[in-house]
Amino acid sequence: MAFRGSLGLLTAVIVVALTGAGDAQSAKAPKRPRLGAGADTNDARAYYDRGVALLRREPWTAAAAFYWASRLEPGWPQAYYAQRVAGFLSRENLLIGYLEGARSVVASQEIQQLDSLQYRAERLNPFFVRDLDETLFAGYLIAIYKQQRSRAGERALDPTNEAEVNFLVDQYVRSGRSVPLRAALAASRRRFTEALGFYKQMLPEYRHQAWIRAERAKIFYVMGSPDSALVELQAALNQLRQLDTARLTPIYVSREMLEHGIGVIHEAAGDTAAARRAYGRALQENLAYAPAHVLLAGLDLLAGDTTTALSEFDVAVQVAPAEAPLRVAYGLLLAQTGRRDDAVVHLRRAAELEPYYAMPHYLLGYVAELQGNRDEAVTGYRGFLARAGARDRLHDMVAQRIADLSP
């Protein structure tokens, strides 16, 4: 079979190879939450939507839903980020201590675990949309208000009462308290000019400015002002280098991550030379930063240099051996360059690492078909259909391939 759109699929798979899924499989995996009648239990989006619907009322159940979304689609940044939000909302005292900067809380293992989820999301896409931030900050205010009412013997605020919650948030914004929180609230409400103003107000009095600059860069990027985003990212880098410290803020800001963002902006503008330099600088900061190896491989493929692209992928797999989407991307490239037996090794390992992930099984079927093994091809394709959501863009095509190959 001549694979249709192979470069397009390879590009898409390379994109999801940037995730830091790593330890997605866990002995403490939560039970899958129930979805609505007729919902597709192979659809990551269905679990994500269920999590959003439950986030304020049952954040612990929402966290489980987001977890399973990440297991079905381990290359989706929103699923990791949403797990972090739900994790905070289900631990009110932790949320309060974190946002109020309590040292014992910020340095705790629980916080490190939650922050690692956001780091995974940012490795995949440094500019992903944090669309649940307002819910997170509203949860903080609800928790504070609950404590105040409890001490006064009054009823707790209903977190599902939109009007009451919105009034509480608006009241806080008007109060003039906590500029960082008001900045984040404004950004989450897409009041970008207001958010930029709050962050600018913080710069003269805030010692560790790298985080502020990085936040401003993300806002400028979403606003469609990449040049301004580049200025802020460079300023953040300069500040990190001056202080030369490992951890400056509640959310870790790394130099390799900032270079990653700079490279993405240059690549989107078509300046592949500048993008390549930025990804190279990211590796100078951290040779084990797998996303930079993958992004360089993508640039090599665009330049027609499959040998160097394969070399970059090989290094990426060595430094991040537990990342299933990375092995999937490498496996596809190996298959398309004639190294089909090597491709199978990586694809099978990806399927072992993430048994609910559909893509490795599709590619195992694809490679088997290239090798002329119809039975193994059908087995791989059936494995894909057993795991893929009905909305998956490959679903119908794979079903047709099974029909064509079956006796």
What pLDDT is recorded for position 401?
A: 95
Assess whether 59 and 112 both reside in one domain. Answer: yes
Domain-ending residue, one of 177, 201, 232: 177
CA distances for 316 relative to 19, 266, 283, 304, angstroms: 12, 22, 11, 19
Using CA of residue 286, residue 292, residue 297, residue 299, what is the dihedral sign? negative
**Domain annotation covers residue 201:** no
Residues 12 and 30 in one domain: no
Burial class (CB in 10 A: 0-12, 13-18, 19+), 223: middle
Alpha-carbon distance of 205 to 217, in angstroms, equals 19
CA-angle at 255, arms to 102 and 106, nearest 5°: 10
What is d(CA 353, CA 74) in angstroms, rounded to the nearest whole number?
11
23 pLDDT higher than 80: no
In terms of pLDDT, which residue wins out, 161 or 355? 355
Mean of the per-residue pLDDT values for the chain? 87
Single out the residue of 30, 259, 14, 21 nearest to residue 121, CA to CA: 21
Here the tokens at position 185 are 């609230």
72 plus 4 within the same structural domain? no
What 260-263 contacts at long range (C-beta under 8 Å, 24+ apart), as own/partner pairs, is 260/123, 260/126, 260/289, 260/291, 260/292, 260/295, 261/126, 261/127, 261/214, 261/217, 261/221, 261/229, 261/233, 262/230, 262/233, 262/234, 263/292, 263/295
Check whether residue 107 and residue 154 sit in a common domain.
yes
8 and 72, same structural domain?
no
Give pLDDT, residue 214: 94
Does one domain contain both 49 and 156?
Answer: yes
Q: Which two tokens mark 294?
A: 């993958």
Three-class DSSP category at 102: coil
What are the tokens at 40?
Answer: 């597709």
Helix, strand, coil shares of the chain, percent, nearest 5, are 70, 0, 30
Q: What's the rounded Cα separation, in Å, for the pair 374 and 218?
A: 48
pLDDT in tens, 226-276: 999 999 999 999 988 876 544 444 456 789 999 999 999 999 999 999 999
Instruction: Tell me: do 34 and 128 sit in the same domain.
Output: yes
Give me the mean pLDDT over the 392-399 stretch. Answer: 95
Question: Quick one: which of 357, 19, 78 has its CA closest to 86?
Answer: 78
The conformation of residue 358, written as its DSSP 8-state character, comes to S
Structure token digits, residue 251 = 């959310």
Sign of the dihedral through C-alpha 74, 283, 266, 13: negative
Match 């500019």 to its residue by tokens: 127
Q: Are residues 99 and 7 in the same domain?
A: no
Q: What is the pLDDT of residue 186?
A: 86
- Asked whether residue 94 is domain-assigned, the answer is yes
Distance, in Å, from the CA atom of 407 to the CA atom of 404, rounded to the nearest integer, reads 8
Q: Among residues 118, 117, 134, which one has the least CA distance to residue 126?
A: 118
The encoded tokens of residue 367 equal 């490679």
CA atoms within 13 A on the CB side of 57: 8
Q: Do 1 and 69 reside in the same domain of the chain?
A: no
Domain boundary among the residues 125, 142, 177 is at 177
pTM: 0.89
Q: Which residue range forms the structural domain that includes residue 388?
A: 1-17+323-407
For 297-339, write each residue's pLDDT tens digit.
Answer: 999 999 999 999 999 999 999 999 999 999 999 999 999 999 9
The residue length of the chain stands at 407
Which residue, 177, 212, 233, sits at the end of a domain? 177
10 and 87 together in one domain: no
| pLDDT computed for residue 20 by the predictor | 47
Q: Kindly report the CATH number assigned to the domain that includes residue 400.
A: 1.25.40.10
Q: Which tens digit of pLDDT belongs to each residue from 28-71?
A: 789 999 998 889 999 999 999 999 999 999 999 999 999 999 99
**Do 50 and 121 belong to one domain?**
yes
**Token output for 387:** 């795991």
Alpha carbon 51 to its chain centroid, in Å, reads: 16
Distance CA 257, CA 285 (A): 9
Q: How far apart are CA 27 and CA 313, in angstroms?
A: 29
Q: Is a pLDDT exceeding 80 seen at residue 24?
A: no
